[in-house]
Amino acid sequence: MNILSFGQRIEGLISTIRCAAPEMTILSLAGETVFRMVEAYGRDGMRFLEQGDRINAVASFGYASGWYKAGAFLGLVIGDLPEGNDILDESIDTQETSRLQEKIDRYYRLLREGIAALEPAPDGASILRKGAEEILLRANSALHEGKEHRSGNQILEALRKFGYGHGWLDTGVRTGLFRITGNRELFTI
C-alpha cells in the first residue's frame, strides 16, 4: 500500500464516522472527541502529503487510525475503515532517510514512554479496567510490531505502527481509562 492509498482510506473513514452514543451524554462527548481527533489528524496527514511531506503524513495517518480503532473498540464511534494487512511499502528518498530515522526514534520513544507512564484508573473488577488493559495490550503490540518492521527495514510501516499505538494510548487517556503516573506531556490531554 502506498501513502496516498492510506490517506484515502482515512479520508473515507472521516466521511462515514459517527458517534455511537446518544446525543448530550458523556459518552457522546467522548465519541465527538474521538471523531474530532481522527478528522484533525487525517486532514493534517492529507495536508502534509499535498506539501510533499510524506513522513509527517504517515505519522498523522497512523495516529488517526489508532484514535479511530480505540474509539471503535470502546464503542464510542462507528465508521468504515476497511480492514487489511497492507504494509506501507513506499520508499523514501535518500536525503530524507536521516529525518525519517529521527522521527521513528522519537515516535518509538514516545510510545514506549507513554506505555510506561500510564496505569489503569478503573477498579480491577470493573469492565472499564478490562478496556484499559486491552488498550495497553494494543499499544504494546503496536510497539513490538513497529520494532519488527524497523529491524526488517520497513521503516514507514514502523512509523505508522508507532503513531497507531500512541493513538490508542491518547484515546484511553482522554476517555479517563488511565492515570498518568509519568510525563503528562506525552499525551493530548
Residue 84 has pLDDT above 70, yes or no: no
Per the CB < 8 A criterion, the answer to whether 143 and 165 are in contact is: yes
Output the pTM of the full model. 0.94
Can you tell me whether residue 26 is helix, strand or coil?
helix
**pLDDT single digits (tens) 161-170:** 999 999 999 9
Domain boundaries, the chain: 3-90+99-186
User: What's the DSSP call for residue 22?
Assistant: P
Query: Chain-wide mean pLDDT for the chain?
Result: 93
How far is it, in rounded angstroms, from Cα 76 to Cα 168? Answer: 13
By mean pLDDT, which of 31-45, 79-93, 125-139 is the weakest? 79-93
Phi, psi of 126 (to 5 degrees): -85, 160
